[in-house]
Structure 1
Amino acid sequence: MKYAVLQTLGVALVVLGGQGAIRLLVDHDNAGLLAWLPGGFAAGVTVHFVAVAVAVGAVVAGWAHSRAKEVGRRS
């Protein structure tokens, strides 16, 4: 159950990070949720892409865990 929650959280972070990064790339002045962040455009894009990378990592880790359990059951 906890892996399903992690995967859901990962997908939510991918959506937030992805749309935020795309919006920031199209309109540099619209920082969205990260308007409070010092460092301007470069810092905002970096944070969005790091959030996407973490979320993708969580999803891949969840998938790998489920595959490992499946392989373990067959043995």
Structure 2
Amino acid sequence: MKYTIGQVAGAVLLVLGAQGVIRLLIDHDKGGLLGWVPGGFAVRLTCYVVVGVAGALLAGWAEDRAKKGRGKRA
């Protein structure tokens, strides 16, 4: 169950990061959730990419751990 929570959290971060990158590339002035981050377009874009990558890594790690746990029980 705890790995399912990790997968969901990772998916949410991945979606937020991807949505933020797309929004920022279409309209450079709309920062979205990270509009408060100082530094302008490049810094916000980097933050969204980092959030998306972190979400993908978290979801992948949780899926791998869940598969290993299922294999031991079977």
TM-score computed with the length of structure 2 as normaliser: 0.90
Deviation string 1:19-52 (CA, Å, 9 cap, x unpaired) is 0110001110111111111110000000000001
TM-score computed with the length of structure 1 as normaliser: 0.88
Aligned to 1:39: 39
Count of matched residue positions in the alignment of Structure 1 and Structure 2:
74
Poorly superposed stretches of 4+, deviation over 6 Å? none
Output the aligned Cα RMSD.
Answer: 1.2
Aligned to 1:24: 24
Q: Quick one: percent identity of the two aligned structures?
A: 41
Q: Which runs of 5+ in 1 are unaligned?
A: none
Aligned to 1:50: 50
Q: Which runs of 5+ in 2 are unaligned?
A: none
User: How much does 1:58 deviate?
Assistant: 0.6
